[in-house]
Amino acid sequence: MRACRCRRLKGVCALMMCVTLALHMLVIILVMSMFTSTCEPVQRHRARPHNLTSANLTHTGSTSSRAGAADLARLEALFSHTLYTLHGPSSPDDDTLLRVRSQVNEEHNAEQWLSNSKEGYDPILWNSSTETHPPWLRFHLGISRWQLYSHRDTNLPALQEQLSTHRIVSAVQKTGGTQLKLVITFSNYGQALFKPMKQQRNDETNVNLYYFSDFERHNAEIAAFHLDRILGFRRMPPVVGRLIDVIKEVKDITTDHKLARTFFNSPVGNSCFYGQCSYYCSTEHAVCGRPRALEGSLAAMLPDLSIAPRRSWRNPWRRSYSRSKLTLWEKTPTYCDAVKKTPPYDRGTRLVDLIDMTILDFLQSNMDRHHYETFEMFGNNTFLLHLDNGRAFGRHSKDEPSILTPLVQCCRIRRSTLLRLRLLASPQYRLSDVMRASLAQDPLAAVAPLLTEPHLSALDRRLGTVLQIVQRCLLQHQHHHVIYDDIPDYSG
């Protein structure tokens, strides 16, 4: 650990962070000089039952059979459509996030790190060849200016498999944010953000709750990832569902004493914990296994901020936390005119990227989008990360039209997005059908469908609303004012 900057930090937790960070650095340095965005393909595999961690919840057979072969065929056909393989003028793989240094530092030879592989962790057998890289590292190295992973990324199934089955060696609470979540570390040094199940999938959010008091939903995080991918954005880190043994995979291995102290047995003998956070971290809001198996979502962790810093931007259409006051955008129909003149929305794709995020949020009914993040090194010419979707899919019986305000007020949309939305509104590729098929591939679909049918129908209904608004815009404004043509060579 000679070169490690966090050397002065004490404790196992700090040591682990150092090792992980240093490993990221080392491998990135090793591959920099030769790395191109094409990773060595790994064996692509079809959706198949995963080994669930809990012995008392058994798998109910092939997940794809639940969704139906017809839905799966629709999903396959959708992903084969030209609109998913097209590259705009800003090619998705024109530059990558982690191609930052070109020289190999002699001090950082693999052996130095080999000796640091810790008990419980897999031996580190990586070198500059992408073939030797674990899935999480390939994911990091594949992040580009316009997307987190590529369409038909051959590493995606491997990454999902890692998240859903790989051995967990550490679980600590993630600080910040309002609700309980854990950073999970795997034995191959990969990491994930774990959000536990807090309510049943078919619970509808109480209508009297303000959105900012709403619980986060693990299935919303999973469903959001599938939706983002189906919309062709690929701006959300991959998320999978998993059953975690709260004793074996959290309590027994955590170095987070504050977290460990919050474990208890419920009156019916289930293992529960509640952690420490600013909302809902009390015995009344504990998360409980059955008796130890707890459902949750695991999102692939992005590269550490010290390697790939991110910038947080306030959403111009952010909501007020006040229960009585309206914000400026709610009172001013011409609000977008001002936004359009304000950097970075006055040039490039920032405004249409924000509209893409708006459409995603309206479809999943996510009102909790105060901020969004970008990778700092890409400047303003880059995609917006669609992180934190835990408050989506709270209600299926009601839509929230105010989420669409940016689209209504700006009347602007990427042409590629609009064409994909039209595709998803056609019976051939109906959004609810392809979502059903996609979600059925998640390991937790074996326990229960990730989204109930009313939620899937709500997606179709909301998609209809989005398309109606765009039609209205096209009637009111000149075509080129509404449509941002990011795919001028596509004539379809």
Ligand X SMILES: Nc1ncnc2c1ncn2[C@@H]1O[C@H](COP(=O)(O)OP(=O)(O)OP(=O)(O)O)[C@@H](O)[C@H]1O
- DSSP 8-class letter at 446: G
Min dist CB 193 to Mn ion, Å, is 11
Site membership for Mn ion, residue 221 (CB under 5 A):
no
Nearer to Mn ion, 394 or 449 (CB): 394
Choose the one of Mn ion, ligand X, none that binds residue 299, judging by a C-beta under 5 to 8 angstroms depending on kind. Answer: ligand X
Choose the one of ligand X, Mn ion, none that binds residue 88, judging by a C-beta under 5 to 8 angstroms depending on kind. Answer: none
Choose the one of ligand X, Mn ion, none that binds residue 470, judging by a C-beta under 5 to 8 angstroms depending on kind. Answer: none
Nearer to ligand X, 54 or 191 (CB): 191
Nearer to Mn ion, 135 or 390 (CB): 390
Say if residue 195 carries a ligand binding annotation.
yes
CB burial class (10 A; 0-12, 13-18, 19+) of residue 439?
Answer: buried
Say if residue 302 carries a ligand binding annotation.
yes
Residues 367-396 within binding reach of Mn ion (CB under 5 A)? 388, 390
Q: Using alpha carbons only, what angle is made at residue 437 by residues 199 and 363, rounded to the nearest 5 degrees? A: 60
Choose the one of Mn ion, ligand X, none that binds residue 214, judging by a C-beta under 5 to 8 angstroms depending on kind. Answer: none
Min dist CB 36 to ligand X, Å, is 24
Distance CA 451, CA 440 (A): 10
Answer for the pair 291, 270: CB distance below 8 angstroms, yes or no: yes
Nearer to ligand X, 198 or 414 (CB): 198
Place of tokens 């009585």: 324
What is the dihedral sign for C-alpha 121, 127, 128, 133?
negative
User: Which residue ranges make up the site for ligand X (CB under 6 A)?
Assistant: 176-179, 181, 193, 216, 237, 299, 301-302, 373, 387-388, 390
Choose among 263, 78, 107, 119: nearest CA to 180. Answer: 263
Amino acid at position 306, single letter: S
Min dist CB 397 to Mn ion, Å, is 23
Nearer to Mn ion, 66 or 174 (CB): 174
Residue 199, both tokens: 């309510």
Number of Cβ within 10 Å of residue 128's Cβ equals 16
Site membership for Mn ion, residue 361 (CB under 5 A):
no
Choose among 47, 20, 27: nearest CA to 164. Answer: 47
List beta partners, residue 314.
Answer: 371
Please give the backbone phi and psi of residue 231, each rounded to the nearest 5 degrees, phi first.
-75, -10
Strand 413-414 with 483-484, pairing? parallel
Say if residue 55 carries a ligand binding annotation.
no
Please give the backbone phi and psi of residue 188, each rounded to the nearest 5 degrees, phi first.
-95, 15
Nearer to Mn ion, 298 or 447 (CB): 298
Cα(first)–Cα(last) distance of the chain, in Å? 56
Min dist CB 421 to ligand X, Å, is 26
Can you list the alpha helix ranges (DSSP code H) found in 387-430? 405-410, 415-425
Min dist CB 304 to ligand X, Å, is 8
Number of Cβ within 10 Å of residue 231's Cβ equals 20
Helix, strand, coil in percent for the chain, rounding step 5: 40, 10, 50
Min dist CB 89 to ligand X, Å, is 29
Min dist CB 178 to ligand X, Å, is 3
Choose among 210, 233, 168, 258: nearest CA to 363. Answer: 233
Residue 117, both tokens: 């592989």
Q: Just list the catalytic residues.
A: 368
Choose the one of Mn ion, ligand X, none that binds residue 387, judging by a C-beta under 5 to 8 angstroms depending on kind. Answer: ligand X
HSE-CB of 478 using CA atoms within 13 angstroms = 2
Say if residue 179 carries a ligand binding annotation.
yes
The residues, ordered by sequence, that sit 6+ positions from 453 with a Cβ below 8 Å of its Cβ are none
SS3 letters for 131-160? Answer: HHCCHHHHHHHHCECCCCCCCCCCCHHHHH
Nearer to Mn ion, 228 or 388 (CB): 388
Choose the one of ligand X, Mn ion, none that binds residue 443, judging by a C-beta under 5 to 8 angstroms depending on kind. Answer: none
Nearer to ligand X, 299 or 352 (CB): 299
Min dist CB 477 to ligand X, Å, is 35
Choose the one of ligand X, Mn ion, none that binds residue 181, judging by a C-beta under 5 to 8 angstroms depending on kind. Answer: ligand X
Residue 488, both tokens: 């001028």
Say if residue 1 carries a ligand binding annotation.
no
Secondary element (H or E) of residue 183: strand 182-186
SS3 state at 456: helix
Say if residue 300 carries a ligand binding annotation.
yes
Residue 332, both tokens: 């001013």
Bind-site residues for ATP = 179, 195, 216, 299-302, 373, 388
Bind-site residues = 179, 195, 216, 299-302, 373, 388
Bind-site residues for Mn(2+) = 216, 388
Q: What residues make contact with Mn ion under the rule CB under 5 A? A: 388, 390
